[in-house]
Structure 1
Amino acid sequence: MALGATIRNFRKQRGMTLQVLSDQLEVSCSFLSAVERGVKKPSVAMVKRLSDVLNISPTYLFSPENEEVHGEKIRFIRKGRSLSIEELSELSGIPAERIQIYEDGTEEPGLETLDRLAETLGVTVRYFLEKSAGTLSIGKKVRTEREKQGLTGVALADKAGVTPAMISQIENDQSEPSLDTLENVAKELGVSVCYFLLEQEDVENLLGSLNSEVIALLGDPRVQAVLRAVRDLDAGDLKFILNYIQFYKRNRSLI
């Protein structure tokens, strides 16, 4: 499916009009319409904004047919919540046999089902849709992949049809590439363009870095209640709470 058609489908699934989405993206309605019709291509920055506004991974914008299997993630977070398949079924309203099929990888759940599972399990839908790509900038990822393959900047530029100066500017974060350029670079490096666009650390890697006591706490309903309470806060509110936690840790002996 073309990028524009995919954006349109996700917009409609979110119940958003062209005007509403264009307002949130801070672009004109006519430009967004042209993107959806495949007449124009969005910038890299716009793809990232689309990802945030639609609450989906860039992976889904470029490969909506779910090249990622969700069953393992569903099982992983379900067990982390100490829930049986039957309990998850009762809480989510999804038949137990369907959940079993998803976890076995026999069938992939649709976006609406993932939304329900995410809500029930106390995670955002991005948990299921995101792929790991570390926290490096686009430029550093390009350089890392190029060097892994033993390519010079000149060789990559020649393969991707851009100038060596452009590759140098991208790798040094001096210039943001157009989506066309990024797609060409990704193709020549043999990676998905999504690799360069994703920024969030993979949830499973993050959980794997926590000690056993913290992981056990995540299964506590009281802790889950706190996480659910803060997950929809905006950046300012969340920063305030995090600052308060730091204040408390420094001064708890006095409180």
Structure 2
Amino acid sequence: MDIGSAIRYTREKLGLKLEAVAMEVGTDAGNLSRIETGKQKPSIVRLENIARAMNVGVTDLYALVENVRVLPATSELRDGDELPYADDTRALRRSFATLDARSRRLVIEFAKLLNRVEKEEQGTPAKEVPPPAP
């Protein structure tokens, strides 16, 4: 098995669509398909992004190539609260990752403000979320 086959096997085993993984990676489905079929080799950065999009490690993919037993991966991307990531959350993660530290802080503060406004409109006191570590 080569790395492209390992990517395809993992993606299909997790029930992920080619287009969804490609979108999460920031590439098109044709490019990911060429990687999966072995017509194109992924760069290290692209391979890391593909693995992250499927919520597996690069080592998990190489373990398949080397025919080593690995623990099964989950089929949903999750955050620390065990909530599945929706498409809008994935898009937000991709956009957020491209921002500098100052802009990230602004996005976080804006999200907190929206949370407070929404809670006030519902008549529920807003839960204060601590800022992420720099």
TM-superposed CA distance for 1:231, in Å, is 4.6
1:60 to 1:230, Cα distance in 2 relative to 1, 3 A: same
Give 2:103's aligned residue: none
Q: Which has the higher contact order (CA 8 A, sep 6+)?
A: 2
Structure 1, unmatched stretches of 5+, are 69-109, 117-123, 126-227, 247-255
Matched residue count: 91
Give 2:53's aligned residue: 53
User: How far apart, in 2, do the equivalents of 1:37 and 1:229 lie?
Assistant: 34
Structure with the bigger percentage of helix: 1
Letter in 2 for 1:41: K
Identical residues among aligned pairs (%): 19
TM-superposed CA distance for 1:15, in Å, is 1.3
Please point out which of 239, 243, 249 is paired with 2:131: 243
Aligned residue runs from structure 1 range 1-255, under 5 A: 1-64=1-64, 65-66=67-68, 111=72, 115=74, 230-232=81-83, 241-243=129-131
Query: What's the RMSD between the two structures over aligned residues?
Result: 3.5
TM-score by length of 2: 0.53
Partner deviation per Cα, 1:90-136 (whole Å, 9 max, x = no partner): xxxxxxxxxxxxxxxxxxxx52xx649xxxxxxx99xxxxxxxxxxx
User: How far apart, in 2, do the equivalents of 1:115 and 1:21 lie?
Assistant: 15
1:33 to 1:43, Cα distance in 2 relative to 1, 3 A: same
Poorly superposed stretches of 4+, deviation over 6 Å? none
TM-score by length of 1: 0.30
User: How far apart, in 2, do the equivalents of 1:7 and 1:243 lie?
Assistant: 35
Structure 2, unmatched stretches of 5+, are 94-107, 112-127
